[in-house]
Structure 1
Amino acid sequence: MSGPLSDRWTALQAALPATAQLLAVSKGHPAAVIRELAGSGQRAFGESRLQEALPKQEQLADLALQWHFIGRLQSNKVRSVVRAFPVIHSVDSLPLAQRVSRIAGEEEQWPEVLLQVKLRPDTNKGGFLRDELLSAWTELAALPSMTVIGLMTMAPMGCDADDRRALFQECRELADQLELRECSMGMSGDWQDAAAAGSTWLRLGSVLFGPRPSAPPQAG
């Protein structure tokens, strides 16, 4: 399949290191665009709004896609997210991890989970602090009905390039310390730095899809 979207996807795939995978952040884009990109070979798609994602998943049920939940995971949405997403990038506390584990068991699901870590002060984001994660790690790793596969982090707004690179490197080193393979870090504006630091999942939206179409605000 050819066209601007396919061309951008092909160029990004060529630029990625062999250790990194492209997670196409399709929030705000319709099912038809996801189907177009799937025609180029993309299989992993990231969504952050449950009410937007579920209809798209239904429309694309004929495709073998892997859906990743990348938004802030609210406690009251855990059951629906566990049912719909085999990979969750945003478990940011021990109580939330325990809730995911319990509900996954009830739903007979076994999601793969990335733990969100906060390695710099940031009032806009949640996440485990480094020492908090290390102290809770034994309990987290033993939770049933889910598998912790890696860490996820985001650079704070206004973070300069040097500190951003250092942050990504710290996340990779922390994942290695915990013997976790996956690191979900890097978005459209900083993915090259994240890839160089050892990210295995690059969450790319605008650099891949172009500007998001305007849409009315959604609840939830």
Structure 2
Amino acid sequence: MFTLNILFEIMELIISIIGLLLVVIGLILPFKQSVKLNQINQNNELEQEKRIWRMQLLDEQISKYYGPISAILREQTIIRQRIWYQIGRDVIFNNGKDKLTDLSPEEQLIWKHFIDKYKIPMQHRITEIMRDNAHLAIHGEHDIYVDQFLDYALGWELLDNQKKEGVPNYYEYYYCYNYPVGFNNYINNTLITLLKEKELLIYDLKK
């Protein structure tokens, strides 16, 4: 009888312990789930902040660097095409003729007007944008095109100022037309890439 009482007490104790364990487990599991859920929410918030930061950077790169430069390059192309139309050919100098004096007096005036009123001022605007917003430029293997453009644009400006002020130089600056086409491709292609990325980010932010 004594043994049975002890056995019953032990069983009751075991049942109580099991009940207590179930209560503890019932408290621990929701707590762990809550911690895990909070961690997920924090990660989601962090990712959202990264997307917002990336969106702000994209907006600046598009509106202050690649967009304005691309627009100026487009304007210059349109004006140059009008020049080609005026002179009746798609090059200013024919093969074997590489001096301003090789052009007719009328063509010389058209070309110099284009250089002084459009080409050099537009290139100057581009170099100003690049200088003032250098922190927005995307660096990589295309940096060579940026360097080529700066060398080209600043070289034209230097020779133009020398010509106007009577400083002797050994270049026919009106025909130094070795324009780095790779620069245009870099600017326009990068702008397209940034616009596509922005579109995807807008979609993600709306989720």
Same fold, TM exceeding 0.5? no
Between 1 and 2, higher relative CO (CA 8 Å, sep ≥ 6) is seen in 2
- Work out which of the two has the higher radius of gyration on C-alpha atoms and give 1 or 2: 2
**Higher strand fraction (1 or 2):** 1
**Higher helix fraction (1 or 2):** 2
TM bracket (short chain):
under 0.3
